[in-house]
Structure 1
Amino acid sequence: MQQSNQEVTVTNTAELLEKVFQRLVSANKDNANDHMDFDVWEWPLGVALYGLFKYTRFTGKQEYTDFLIDWYDRHLAEGLPPKNVNSVAPLLALIHLYEQTKNEAYLNVCSEWAEWVMYDMPRTEEGGLQHITIIEDNVEQLWDDTLFMTVLFLAKMGKVTGKQEYVDEAVYQFLLHIKYLHDPETGLWFHGWSFIGRHHFGRTLWARGNCWFTAGVVEFLEIAELEGPVKRYLLEALEAQARTLAKLQESDGMWHTILTDPSSYTETSATAGFGYGILKAVRQGYLDASYAATAEKAVQAVIANIDEDGTVLQVSYGTAIGMNDEHYLNIPICPTAYGQALAIMLLTETLASK
């Protein structure tokens, strides 16, 4: 494990990034239930591939781009899984990769899936994207995860193809999810909302669910190139969340898996997601510069939880919605692709912000 007081320099951050990257791409490929498996077309890899794409674009190394091209070409040749919220996630990096390669096969796949999201994906009351997964239909449920896993892709497709209706739908989904998942009392986010029960399940303020908005909204603003009242509204939601996050951050820079429960374990993937979103928001002028200190503490905390071989430690396993806090407290901790990816995104943004 790295030293928590290690000075963050350009050199050692770049070296650490490479370790985290190599640990991710060398993960075992023999267990479909392993969230570190780099061979399963699902949401953990969707987040990972996007993190790798951002790292690849930052470094400019052709061999990393070739790695992504080889990965996608192989999986497209094998055939893709059924369409759902989580299986859309790997397409976010793919449509970005299309912009670089102009490979029409990539665009064709992305177009087919974007049309499904736009017109055939199950909807909740008020037209929300229902969080349908390979395991559960989750009828009439909104989850905060959906924004990162599906809505970012739809927005990017709208910009790439010139289909403004995609961008407009993505905007609507962000606004609707804020309406039902944002807690006006704290500025934090509930994991989900049921239109059937008219409730927020256990009302748990779960860290990684919150970070999907923190990291996702800064990406969305960049992708959709929003201005005017919608941009203002999204930034107010981010500011409200960041204000409370700054108060809840531990002295070592970490956040607890249940944000408002200091007895719950601290969790690295959420800490990386918060750090990334806040750091980028400061760089873009979305948040006041005073929040940089919160982000820098998160950077140090994540570095302190990276093992010598590049494994990001203290990451919770994939988490469905629970009806009580105990559900979240019992989620096991293990290395995951999204833990690696969120750390990669944070460390890459650290270099970009210097």
Structure 2
Amino acid sequence: MKIRLLPILMFVLASVFPIEAGNKYYQQMSDSEMKRNPESWMLDFSKTPKWNYCHGLMLQAILQTWNVTHDQKYFDYAYSFADLMVAPDGQIKTYKPEEYNIDRVNSGKMLFPIYAKTKEERFKLALDLMRNQMKTHPRTADGSFWHKKIYPHQVWLDGLYMAGPFLAEYGKTFNEPGLYDEVVLQIVDAHKYLYDAKTGLYYHGWDESRQQKWADPVTGLSPNFWSRSIGWYMMSIVDALDFIPEDHPKRPELIGILKDISAAVEKFREPKTGMWYQVTNLGTREGNYLESSGSVMFIYTWVKGAQRGYLDKSYLKKGQKAYSQYLKRFVKKESDGTISITDGCSVAGLGGEKVYRDGSFEYYISEPVRDNDPKAVGPFIMLSILLDK
């Protein structure tokens, strides 16, 4: 579809994807995103097509909506992105394996159900391409993946989600059981280096070289706890456990980590709303705010962990209540019938060249806040499916 046809396409799709008020929240939110972004490459406020982790997150969620509703429009929406981006030989537009950007791997997860349904070989080749990136991806001395080639010697919690569940699913789907050990190593190493015993929380990043200005010269740790990064880590564990075999010797250790962090984040909820702050442990500090993506990731992990038997059953009730509180605090109805999620941090990171991100409290609260950030919307759809809401 030529980009010059977008105005016509947007009008047509707005009528094709009506928002039915009686539908479940996962349908309403999926339909809302499809109305806001008539072509799937437009997700994440994109101006041009790109292979981006947010597209993978959103389309994974929309494919889950297809899986429970059996409504073909959801599959077609996700397929249109895969069809646009993946060439017949499996090469992926805008994706450069030699950049060793771990974020890019997350988009691969949406290709598993698409390949399973279509059996188009190009999607298997694309999955292989991303799996092969991780064979040569740079690592720390203990084997943890660098976040990106441009961030040498650094482990960020975000990256655990970007590669871990993908590799675990690849291992199960294509019979490469050695990948289970790989995924376990990443999760356990992150616990070893990023865990804070005093709070039970995890720091956003760790610099093995201790060269970054944001890194503590002794520990290599970044200075603050960012809720979304902790949420990424929690989701990486609860999602990877879907594929790691029951008899894997390290599986109990992963579940133990999940139990501990689930209990730890509960201590930092804002009492009135039940939600969590952008900087997790500094809720009373001026400028901090209740943030929607980290909050929904915590609730998703509680609910899924309890449903799968990794967490105590009480976390299901806690998650159900927190979900209702989330709807009240962050979800709003728009005049056009769509629904939106408010107060999502648009981006946060560490270091960089153009504007150096120092990991300070002031930095985390300075990044733009926006509605319908995919890092909140995607997990919200998946959480709503878990609760059948």
Q: TM-score range by the shorter chain?
A: 0.7 to 0.9
Partner of 2:141: 125
* RMSD across aligned positions (CA): 2.4
Measure how far apart 1:109 and its partner are. 0.9
Question: Which residue, 343, 347, 364 being the options, matches 1:328?
Answer: 364
**Aligned residues between the structures:** 337
Query: Would you say the 8 A contact 1:35–1:317 is kept in 2?
Result: no
Query: Kindly tell me: are residues 159 and 169 of structure 1, through their superposed partners in 2, closer, same or farther at Cα, counting changes over 3 Å?
Result: same
Measure how far apart 1:279 and its partner are. 0.4
* Other structure's SS at 1:248 match: coil
Partner of 2:332: 307
For residues 64-79 of structure 1, the aligned pairs below 5 Å read: 64-77=74-87, 79=93
CA–CA distance in structure 2, aligned partners of residues 258 and 72 of structure 1? 35
Measure how far apart 1:225 and its partner are. 2.9
Query: Would you say the 8 A contact 2:43–2:55 is kept in 1?
Result: no
Partner of 1:178: 191
Query: Kindly tell me: are residues 248 and 112 of structure 1, through their superposed partners in 2, closer, same or farther at Cα, counting changes over 3 Å?
Result: same
CA–CA distance in structure 2, aligned partners of residues 138 and 111 of structure 1? 24
Question: Which residue, 231, 234, 250 being the options, matches 2:254?
Answer: 234
CA–CA distance in structure 1, aligned partners of residues 205 and 289 of structure 2? 21
CA–CA distance in structure 2, aligned partners of residues 169 and 184 of structure 1? 25
- Does 2:384 align with 1:347? yes
Partner of 1:317: 346
TM-score (norm 2): 0.80
* Other structure's SS at 1:270 match: helix
Partner of 2:206: 193
* Other structure's SS at 1:276 match: helix
Structure 2 unaligned runs (5+)?
A: 1-19, 211-217, 351-357
Query: Kindly tell me: are residues 255 and 115 of structure 1, through their superposed partners in 2, closer, same or farther at Cα, counting changes over 3 Å?
Result: same
CA–CA distance in structure 2, aligned partners of residues 33 and 75 of structure 1? 13
For residues 107-122 of structure 1, the aligned pairs below 5 Å read: 107-118=124-135, 120-122=136-138
Measure how far apart 1:203 and its partner are. 2.6
Measure how far apart 1:156 and its partner are. 1.1
Measure how far apart 1:228 and its partner are. 4.8
Asked which structure has the greater CA Rg, the reply is 2
CA–CA distance in structure 2, aligned partners of residues 195 and 101 of structure 1? 43
Identity %: 23
Partner of 2:156: 143
- Does 2:261 align with 1:261? no
For residues 143-162 of structure 1, the aligned pairs below 5 Å read: 143-162=156-175
TM-score (norm 1): 0.88
CA–CA distance in structure 1, aligned partners of residues 30 and 125 of structure 2? 29
Question: What do the CA deviations read for 1:202-248 (whole angstroms, capped 9, x no partner)?
Answer: 33111000111222211100122343541111111111111122222
Measure how far apart 1:292 and its partner are. 2.4
Larger relative helix fraction: 1
